Amino acid sequence: MFSLQNQRVLVTGGTKGVGREVVALMHAEGARVLTTARSPGDQLPPGAVFIAADLTTAQGCTAVAQAVREHLGGVDLIVHVAGGSKAPVGGFAVLDDDEWAQALNFNLMPSVRLDRALLPGMLEQGKGVIIHVTSIQSRLPLPESTTAYAAAKAALSTYSKSLSKEVSPKGVRVLRVSPGWIETDAATAFVNDLAAKAGSGYEAARQSVMQALGGIPLGRPAQPREVAELIAFLASPLAAGLTGQEYVIDGGTIPVA
């Protein structure tokens, strides 16, 4: 459907959540896929190459770039999914320099480092696609513990837009996908925990989370597969005329005029 046969694809954070769905979909479409995370998952499709690496470090990114060259001989598509936040609760005052550095090293620098290592090969072949998965928190940040995460995702979005202006005239498309709340395994576990603490059912706890987010007009969070399908479309020849844009998948969470 997406015409990705024999495309050489790197997916970061590909062992769970959206990343795992991207790997599965790209593989099903006939792409040659290499993915990376700190530890392997148990649901990667046969034939997908896994490289264990810590992308928060320059050494980890260098190792992944080298693995891409060795296993794929280059790359046609990079999907940057890895990211997240483990910041403590307590607002901006508890976010010391280490917490800010961790947020940037997890959500911005892996894309910068891997693009810097692999983009020259794309430019040499005169084609390629880079997709940065950001977050609606870059525009609609939640308070408290996600402050550094939201700022890092905003930096990633700005970096992506700037990169697109530089390399799109040379044949490489650069795009952003910004999800809202995604119902991953981790999100489901979180809602179940809330339900247990409140003595309520899963759906009641799910609704409370959506209310905390300011409401999701669609009435539900996005599913990982839905985000993966958007990414696959943008990576495909069907989207050949698109570059530099941000595509939000949030069920209508961000108000628009």
Q: Point out the residues that are catalytic.
A: 149
Q: At what angle do helices 97-107 and 109-125 cross, to 10 degrees?
A: 30
Q: Is 141 exposed, middle or buried (0-12, 13-18, 19+ CB in 10 A)?
A: middle
Return d(Cα 241, Cα 256) in angstroms, integer: 24
Q: Cα separation of 106 and 101, whole Å?
A: 8
Residue 17: name the closest of 233, 235, 226, 250 by CA.
226
CB 12 within 8 A of CB 19: yes
> Smallest Cα–Cα separation from 34: which of 82, 2, 69, 60?
69
